[in-house]
Copies of this chain bind each other. A is one copy, B any other.
């Protein structure tokens, strides 16, 4: 690795660099690498289940648990280690995320001492493999409307868990098809005929021999596009009885007299508080998507750096793919965006860690901001993964289509990331609504019209969310050259101002638009529905701005001058290719002139050419162990003898 790569790596490895280094050297790449041979579904599942046991022995999982529960309380380290698994085998990453992150996270965050004592040791050691049974066949995005019921029976002091309709069947549940022994089941909690909304109940689903317990019907989702090592399945409950104390009762409890109580009176607020404690899942998916994307870019850019095709007019030696502008255009702006997202992800993990460390003392505003940030970055990072891995596959032609070259599996494994842990389209709408109201958790109990009015009133004050670089960015924007200055496009302040402007305008016009829902006789649903794309665009603009500011902060913190100078160019490419992608909007809103728009495109081209000599350094800095990359896309030995191989 070059000196420059090492310096770049230091800049992007971030606060938990030591964890990344540990994963690179101690995760035994050969052991945790994706399978080299074709495996059947059962073989792959068995392999990943065995790897999970190996991971348990490393002691890593205890990092994600607070100290008072017997863990190390190093949440950032836990999520960073998870992200590194994304360079290895994504099935293993998801399997680990389901068991420790979602199932273990539910027990730790939604449960109380009795659950912690009874289950956390066996969860940490993976002796009790668990499922997170939230999604149902009929409800995935709208989990508040789940159909599964958990009804308190005062005669036996038990909860009766039931699947009343086919649509209420738990579906796509990781761990359900093969390994899970216990499920954290989300169900409408009912006492004395009254529903208290969705709560989580621990339900054993298999006995010691792995057979389904009475009343539990287990189905298998079978083969999927990818993630073959994860045993997704289906769970139906036919009046399955569990002790009352199996209710994870942190935010809602039933006492021995059958009386329901909760520290949070409003059921919607209560539900979203419960969900909020699970924010680590979205942070982790965004991280895993980033890792997989960086693997794909490393493969495609390394390949394009030695693969030649077509001799130039009058030239003898064929041209390297990466010297073609069309090829640079495919890969280098995507690489710049991956850098930007890595800084944003590091910042997100850091916030998540700090909020988790603060525990009950955390500022509720920080928690809300973290949730919105996680939702937004998850949506943008996973969409970037889907598009970029696709581009990388195509940039490698037929070679990119072969399983041995990993790109097919990276594509297939990450494909579901855009729709699980929150569908991206739904998440971005949530982000926009959160920005408008700044009080997402009050949605449920406010009249819709009132909410819209409220949102519209709030917008001016809360549009520009805090980022680490806010002060710096404000100074840059203040010093930016005017719209018509020649040097504008290369000025960071000008770029930041354009990002801010797009976000602010989209939010302000959105607020005005939604206010129409308050007009007499207005169809509130129609108003919202017609503004749906506007909501998504506003959220997207917000995340773009947050990501750019994270990049600015990351450069500011970089101490190596050569790395810093190169990162400035990479940031230019991220900023300008983003502006170029939205040039229709900027021109439509007369934010840039046609001449400036053309200048942006010319500058993106020039930046691609400038960065091309450093492309290999930039991907080397991702520090992905060669065992996780070693494919036919890397340079191969040449010579006659190799032909027969």
Contacts and interface: CB of A to CB of B under 8 A. Distances in A.
Contacts of A420: 398
A83 to B, nearest CB: 22
A38 B38 contact: no
B590 A171 contact: no
A411 interface: yes
Nearest to A451: B313
Nearest to A386: B390
Nearest to A401: B416
Contacts of A217: 643-644
A401 B588 contact: no
A566 B518 CA distance: 35
Given A145-B318, A639-B166, A325 B40 contact: no
Interface string A285-328: 00000000000000000000000011111110011000111100
Interface residues of A, number: 93
Contact of A145 (B238, B311, B584): B311
Contacts of A397: 140-141, 419, 423
A518 to B, nearest CB: 12
Contacts of A222: 38, 402-404
Interface stretch (A268-276, A487-495, A530-538): A530-538
Contact of A583 (B38, B236, B448, B584): B584
A626 to B, nearest CB: 21
A603 to B, nearest CB: 14
Given A311-B145, A313-B448, A394 B419 contact: yes
B415 A393 contact: yes
Interface in A7-62: 38, 40-41
Contact of A588 (B139, B314, B393, B587): B587
A329 interface: yes
A318 B142 contact: yes
Interface string A243-279: 0000000000000000000000000000000000000
A168 interface: yes
Contacts of A429: 326
A524 interface: yes
Contact of A532 (B165, B226, B314, B324): B324
Most buried by B among A226, A429, A644: A644
B309 A139 contact: yes
Nearest to A403: B223
A72 interface: no
Nearest to A534: B325
A16 to B, nearest CB: 30
A638 interface: yes
A271 to B, nearest CB: 14
A408 B224 contact: yes
A225 interface: yes
Interface string A113-142: 000000000000000000000010001111
A313 B525 contact: yes
B401 A225 contact: yes
Given A38-B40, A141-B310, A598-B588, A529 B401 contact: no
A519 interface: no
A236 B319 CA distance: 25
Contacts of A365: none
Interface of A: 38, 40-41, 135, 139-142, 145, 163-169, 171-172, 217, 221-226, 236, 238, 309-315, 318-319, 323-326, 329, 386, 390, 393-394, 397-398, 400-404, 407-408, 411-412, 415-416, 418-420, 423-425, 429, 448, 524-525, 528-530, 532-533, 536, 580, 583-584, 587-590, 594, 597-598, 605, 636, 638-640, 642-645
7 contacts: A142-B318, A166-B640, A224-B401, A390-B390, A408-B415, A583-B587, A587-B588
Interchain residue pairs A-B with the least CB separation, the first 10: A225-B408, A223-B403, A312-B525, A587-B587, A584-B584, A313-B448, A583-B584, A172-B398, A326-B532, A166-B643
